[in-house]
Structure 1
Amino acid sequence: MTGYLTTHVLDTARGCPAEGIPIALYRVAGNSHKKVAETVTNADGRTDSPILPAEAFKPGTYELVFFAGDYLRRTGQTEGEVLFLDQVPIRFGMSEPDAHYHVPLLLAPYGMSTYRGS
């Protein structure tokens, strides 16, 4: 298998990459979550290497959790104890064993979106 998974975070409110956002990747089976990786975005809003490299890739259901709350506070976009977006989970499936999956997060204080990129 040569599939792998990458991600990045763009701050759409500020129009720039989102640096310093912790990300966790879980493999999901039913109600069970098993953490398989964690990383932090770099100055380009990307991870320094694939969050799930080819040697660890297995088709299945996964969940990326972006811990965006501290970033939004640090950049002055939100404040307070309870945030509209704090931890942002994205659950998705990977079924093609030889594919590059790219699942980015487009982030703003009161909205987010994702897509399957390339």
Structure 2
Amino acid sequence: MNKNKRVPTSAELNILNVLWRIQPATVRKLHDHISETQKIGYTTVLKMLQIMHEKGLVTRDESTRAHVYSAANSVEQTQSSLLSDIVNKAFGGSRFDLVMRALGDEASSKEINEIRTLLDSLEKNNK
């Protein structure tokens, strides 16, 4: 798999969600934000960022004493990678099966109408 297309783990995604809001950020700044909602050690955040850097999930500016991290990909790019991974792993590559499972019996009338509008728009663009 392409290094920049790696799918983040759940723990890595937690860090990315904070990083997307506050980037660029030092390990200290990230730790301070993350520790507001979950108990996690500074060295754990540091180690995870090092691993994420090796995987290509974050970039690191080493020009200052305190390294500064940024997400390597946008929220949308990461969501697309995660969705593609789930479609392939859990639904045998079928987007239709994913949509059917996602909608199930729980979609509201409003959601169904919004989906119908989206599908109509996609259909127009494909003609």
Larger RCO, structure (CA 8 Å, separation 6 or more): 1
* Structure with the larger helix share: 2
TM-score calculated relative to the size of structure 2:
0.21
TM-score (norm 1): 0.22
Greater C-alpha Rg: 2
